[in-house]
A = this chain, B = another copy of it.
Amino acid sequence: MKALSGTAYVILGIVGFGAQTGYDIKRIVDESIRFFWAASYGQIYPELRRLEQAGLIEGESSPVGARKRTEYRLTEDGRAELVRWLELPATVLELRDESLLKLFFADSLPRVEALELIRRRRLGHEEFLAVLRALDARPGDDPPFVDLVLRYGIAYGEFNVAWCKEQEARLAEATEKAPA
């Protein structure tokens, strides 16, 4: 069996949370893991088919009125594959962070604009934090590790906001002393 993509495991994992449609999967991804693993319909629907063909999930047609609808559930093989993947060592840390990339090249900018870059990064993370906190405030409780990752996200956001604030203060001070 060929190696599955990360997104395939996202689907296995979410379907494992309970019978779900492609639409559901997308919604759950958008409400939880999108910040560290996004997924689009363009991937989800084709992937659902592949996973079904591979016997890792099973789809059952359950239309609502005249509206097509397929509910998927995880098979034994599917759960085994999910667990197998979980136990495999994760690939090395590798992110894509455009705002950090810009900061890396900020020596090409006048100081005020470099400062603005950091400010924007902070704003982005503050917005991100607001979303996660709203999620955290929802009634009902998530499984322990789902919750753990949410709280990681919050801690991560707080870390970034604090870091940006510190650098903003430092830069502002330096700029005062030696104005460009």
Give me the interface of A with B, judged by CB distance under 8 Å.
6, 9-10, 13, 16, 32-38, 79, 82-83, 85-87, 89-109, 113-114, 117, 120-121, 124-125, 128, 143-146, 148-149, 152, 155-156, 159, 163, 167
- Binding site of A, secondary structure by majority: helix, strand, loop or mixed? helix
- Most chain B CB inside 10 Å of its own CB: which residue of A16, A95, A167: A95
Q: Is the CB of A146 within 8 A of B33?
A: no
Copies of this chain, count: 2
Q: When chains A and B are docked, how far (Å) is the Cα of A83 from the Cα of B105?
A: 9
Known: A90-B121, A94-B96, A96-B96. A101 touches B33 (CB 8 A): yes
Other 18 A-B pairs with CB < 8 A, given A13-B105, A35-B94, A83-B108:
A10-B101, A32-B104, A33-B101, A37-B100, A38-B94, A87-B109, A87-B113, A89-B120, A90-B124, A93-B128, A96-B96, A104-B149, A106-B148, A107-B144, A114-B145, A152-B163, A156-B159, A159-B159
